Amino acid sequence: MVQKAWGGRFAAGTDHRVEQFTESISFDRRLFKHDIQGSAAHARMLSRVGLLTPEECQQIVLGLSEIQAEIEREDFSFVLEREDVHMHIEAALIEKLGDVGRKLHTARSRNDQVATDLKLWVRDALDRIDARLIDLQRALCAAAERHRGLIIPGYTHLQRAQPVLAAHYFLAHLEKLERDRSRLADCCKRMNVLPLGVAALAGTSLPIDRDFVAHELGFETVGANSLDVSSDRDFALEAVFVLALIAEHLAGWAEEWILWSTQEFGFLALPDAICTGSSIMPQKKNPDVLELIRGRAARVIGALTTLMILVKGLPLAYNRDLQEDKEPVFDAFDTVEACLDLAAVVVAGASLRADRIAERLDEGFLDATTLMEFLIQQEVPQRTAHAVIGRLVSQCESRGLKRLADLSDADLLAAHPSLGPGTRERLGVANAVQAFQSYGSTAPEQVKTQLQRWKNKLGL
């Protein structure tokens, strides 16, 4: 069946297979609120410059409001023949108002219209992501407070390295999320430029007022080059890049907690509500939510890759390829928002197992670096001190000793004459933690200050 094409250029209708291939209403319908928001602002501008009468503007704005209400109560028909959300809303408006509705598209193109709609949608979605990041930060800050005095092993290369306060560990994730929030804010700043008014690619000969529309829609300024604006999807790529980095941060945290919840580590107790069992093994408690958060980072990175390849090599100005930007953008936002929601639930419900951590906390020579720095304070060169403590660790391992503190005073003095009085005050994880001094370290006073700073910042 051949359908009737819209517009007067074509003598024949559109092949139904082409309509199926080119439609976007199946996914871009979620832009309806932003399309109506942009259209209403455009109508008010047309009235302001005399291209619509005040009465026509009032009819259009009221008609758009009615259409939005119909869509929200699911009393609106979406059909393949109308292709996209923009044509659906315009057609519905024409059905309501006749020729008055036909005037709405004056001085705009679907090219600048869809860019505006997508920017409005992404701008709102970035606000939702930011709110979810704050929720997760609050959960992490509360966890830091709950585990305030607990010492845990810190790792490099997934090998025990130095002792750190658990609160310091939670605050590390807070810092990552704060950088994510900063990137969101930067992204919003760059994208807050109005596309509407550049029409198809060259602008319009009609006397429009783009600054008025920008003010109506909350944009800081207007696009300065119509060719650039018509082709620009930098804002979408940048937003999804930020989402990909958030997803990476969540995936790294999830991987860590998956490991910590194993019997081999035994550091972490996860709430039953976020775990599942096995269909065959009755004893299993699987961290499925964490595994899916880790896994779904791949989807967000895939969305970014799709967008990067999509715009690669596109000539100025608009090309239909850009229709393909919406599904990866929508999916990336949906995925990250859901992951952040569940991450906050996991952090709030999980707890570190202080007893299990304490059982093996002295293993791994976590105080070795602090003991080396004790020698440095005795004016022993760093490389010499490093070698001395390395030999002591090797000696412990060869004798089956698990701690440097298990060495005798004679052993310590034989290793270096500076390992005399005061040495044992640096041995053991508790002493090692107390020895830290530098800003940003795991020193208890430093962590206390940073924790209070975060509590104040997050209103806790």
Q: Which residues are catalytic?
A: 157, 278
Q: How far apart are CA 450 and CA 439, in angstroms?
A: 10
Contact yes or no for 268/260 (Cβ under 8 A): yes
Compute the residue count for the chain.
Answer: 460
Pair of tokens at residue 176: 């990552």
Q: How far apart are CA 201 and CA 204, in angstroms?
A: 9
Residue 63 belongs to what H/E stretch?
helix 54-72
Contact yes or no for 170/143 (Cβ under 8 A): yes
> 362-388 burial string, b = 16+ CB within 10 Å, else e?
bebbbbbbbbbbbbeeeebeeeebbeb
Pairing outcome for strands 159-165 and 151-156: antiparallel
Contact yes or no for 247/331 (Cβ under 8 A): no
Whose structure tokens read 């979408």? Answer: 236
- Residue 221: how many other CB atoms lie within 10 Å: 11
- Angle of CA points 12, 14, 20, to nearest 5°: 170
In three-state secondary structure terms, 194 is strand
Q: How far apart are CA 316 and CA 223, in angstroms?
A: 15
Whose structure tokens read 């057609």? Answer: 91
Helices (H) and strands (E) in the chain, counts: 19, 8
